[in-house]
């Protein structure tokens, strides 16, 4: 049974429980980090048969960055995206639904070139944001324009979601599995600043395949990817 199929009072009870759990996690953040390291060391995902190639692509990306021992690769059920966000958070043992994040490729449709080699003025960016806080494209425009000290006119900026085919070509991952680690091409990454304020400081992302998720500490992600951090809410 899905959460949204429960009676109203039961759903409210679950929401209250979630808030209580989130508050508890914040209090024991250091203990959570210790448990996190133990879980990472187990690497239980390796016991799964037929791990998709795109998940192995993420795994290799983590190895290349030297962070695999700090990450968790988590297989989930095929109907996972039919569940409410809170139920999905429970499934991957996230401290709260606010820790659930997604990676989307954004395109500057007015960029004067097709290139991604200049992170300060790229046509495409891989943006990491919380499910509960969608990207504010105006704030993204202001941030990206600031990377060039506002030397480029506003008329050369307009951000929207990239076409799925373009996202796949750039990252190697399909919708529902887009991951900023192990991308086919070095798309510049922008992390929403709100993510840095999470306690405990971990996030859960797509892991290449719609049925796999990646758990990673926020500081590990920032240090290893050298991503931008911007106010996108």
The predicted structure's pLDDT at residue 32: 85
The predicted structure's pLDDT at residue 126: 99
SS3 of residue 168 by DSSP: helix
From 183, 170, 217, select the one nearest 70 (Cα to Cα).
217
Return the domain boundaries, the chain. Answer: 3-230
From 103, 167, 157, 161, select the one nearest 130 (Cα to Cα).
103
Pick the CATH number of 3-230 from 3.30.360.10, 3.90.1150.10, 1.10.287.980, 3.90.960.10: 3.90.960.10
The rounded distance, in Å, linking the Cα atoms of 150 and 13 is: 49
Neighbour tally for 135: CB within 10 Å: 21
Pairing of strands 124-130, 189-192: parallel
The predicted structure's pLDDT at residue 25: 61
The predicted structure's pLDDT at residue 125: 99
Under DSSP, the state recorded for 194 is G
Q: pLDDT truncated to tens, each residue of the chain (233 aa)?
A: 566 677 778 777 766 666 666 565 665 567 888 889 999 998 889 889 899 999 999 999 999 999 999 999 999 999 999 999 999 999 999 999 999 999 999 999 999 999 999 999 999 999 999 999 999 999 999 999 999 999 999 999 999 999 999 999 999 999 999 999 999 999 999 999 999 999 999 999 999 999 999 999 999 999 999 999 999 99
Pairing of strands 189-192, 202-206: unpaired
The predicted structure's pLDDT at residue 190: 99
The rounded distance, in Å, linking the Cα atoms of 193 and 198 is: 10
The predicted structure's pLDDT at residue 34: 86
The rounded distance, in Å, linking the Cα atoms of 176 and 213 is: 10
């Amino acid at each position: 049974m899905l959460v949204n199929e429960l009676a109203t009072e039961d759903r409210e009870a679950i929401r209250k429980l979630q808030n209580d759990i989130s508050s508890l996690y914040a209090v024991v953040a250091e203990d959570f980090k210790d448990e996190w390291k133990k879980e990472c060391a187990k690497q239980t995902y390796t016991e799964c048969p037929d791990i998709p190639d795109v998940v192995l692509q993420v795994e290799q990306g983590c190895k290349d960055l030297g962070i695999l021992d700090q990450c968790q690769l988590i297989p989930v059920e095929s109907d996972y995206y039919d569940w409410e966000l809170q139920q999905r958070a429970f499934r991957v043992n996230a401290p709260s639904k606010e820790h659930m994040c997604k990676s989307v490729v954004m395109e500057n449709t007015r960029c004067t070139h097709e290139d991604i080699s200049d992170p300060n003025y790229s046509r495409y960016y891989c943006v990491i944001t919380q499910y509960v806080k969608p990207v504010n494209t105006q704030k993204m425009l202001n941030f990206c324009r600031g990377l060039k000290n506002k030397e480029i006119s506003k008329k050369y900026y307009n951000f929207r979601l990239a076409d799925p085919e373009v996202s796949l070509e750039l990252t190697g991952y399909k919708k529902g599995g887009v991951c900023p680690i192990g991308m086919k091409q070095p798309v510049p990454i922008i992390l929403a600043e709100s993510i840095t304020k999470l306690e405990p400081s971990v996030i859960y992302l797509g892991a290449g395949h719609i049925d796999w998720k990646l758990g990673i500490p926020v500081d590990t992600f920032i240090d290893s990817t050298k991503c931008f951090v911007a106010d996108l809410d």
